[in-house]
Amino acid sequence: MAAGLVAVLAGRGAPTAEAGGARFDRESFHQALDAVLDRYVEPVDGSALLADALKHIVAGLDGYSHFLTAAERKALRDQPKDGTTGLTVHLHALPGGGDRVLEVLGVLPGSPADGVGLVPGDHILEIDGTEVGRLLSQVQAEARLTGEIGSEVALLAQRKGTAEPERIDLTLGAGEQRLVVGELVDVTDGRGAATRAALVRVRVFRRGVGQGVKKELARLRRAAGADGLAGVILDLRGNPGGEVDEALVVADLFVADGILTRTRGRGGRILREERAHEAGTDTTTPLAVLQDRHTASAAELLTAALRDNGRAQSIGERSYGKGTVQEIMGMPDGSVLKLTIARYFSPSDRVIDGVGIAPDLELPASKRERAVDEALRVLGLLRAG
């Protein structure tokens, strides 16, 4: 049988190429595709074959691009999404290639995932019996982690620092909606005078979070009294990102002029630049940012915007390194292609994706409990008492 197959492949009409010959091109692809459609031993559903091929092609580009058929798009749109595990995840290949992993980037406080102790850095190996390595796109993973409130999701998770995976059953819930949390910290300034600083933690950038930060800062300023705030610390540790526009609203609170972020497409061409607006900007209150290895996406863009414009210093670990732009393209048949078309760059034109942002003051995870005190020290303040 093998000998016969070799003979067929080597026979007349089967072009051969020496090593280092012509590249496989569109014409060769279409010839091979036509052969499959016209000559495979059983009839082939051309529409399904083309859709499946495009899914694999797009999935091989990066972890953010995907293709959905019209039926898959409708099913995803109609799927209940009021229930959530509270996880933000990232489907990506391990360094050096190999199988994809689904890494936990963020966990909302009070969510089902928080209740079972899942933390950023954990890996999800299976969702409802489906191996993550079989998933082709981020959207497939996210769809499996949402549904009706009260429905169950079964996970196989590899927690950080454990040898064996653990099976976890989660009941989907609404999750904690308080995404901006602030408090006042009693401090002394360089002259030993008693004063107060604001600590504002932003858990994720969803719609309305930018205004939420603005309102929380205003509340803390009023609570601080006539002397105002001696400093502000933005805690972006464990923030997986989200809506870029919301992060830029926060950056615009502190930067009066200059570029906040830019995107570059193929060949490095600038596609868009977002600039600060002077109105309502706080340019005087000392500012610091806390970041860690799970600070990602929009949270990284905020950090870069504040640092590159000389408005803040950052403390912690190098950030995650997630900074790409996707465009959603609807097809005539109702299918949809989501494709990475650009990368985000910092105001000083440093790439973020795959690199992350190095902090001004490095502080390892083992010293996490000291982070706020280190940020205060950078601001010239000391915690009172």
Residues 5-27 have pLDDT tens digits of 334 334 445 454 445 567 899 99
Domains located in the chain, CATH noted = 76-171 (2.30.42.10), 180-383 (3.90.226.10)
- The span from the CA of 357 to the CA of 361, in Å, is 12
**Burial of 165 per CB tally in 10 Å (0-12, 13-18, 19+):** middle
- pLDDT score for 21: 64
Q: What residue ranges of the chain have pLDDT lower than 70?
A: 1-21, 95-98, 175-176
- Coil, helix or strand for 8? helix
- Extract the tokens encoding 280: 């309502």
- pLDDT score for 288: 98
- pLDDT score for 357: 97
- pLDDT score for 12: 45
- The span from the CA of 223 to the CA of 204, in Å, is 25
- The span from the CA of 249 to the CA of 233, in Å, is 16
- 61, 77 Cβ separation under 8 angstroms: no
- 295, 303 Cβ separation under 8 angstroms: yes
- pLDDT score for 23: 87
- Coil, helix or strand for 231? coil
pTM: 0.88
DSSP assignment of 155-220 equals: EEEE-TT-SS-EEEEEE-B------EEEEEEEEE-TTS-EEEEEEEEE--B-TTHHHHHHHHHHHH
- pLDDT score for 95: 66
- pLDDT score for 15: 52
- pLDDT score for 17: 47
User: To which H or E segment does residue 28 belong?
Assistant: helix 26-39
- Coil, helix or strand for 75? helix
- pLDDT score for 1: 43
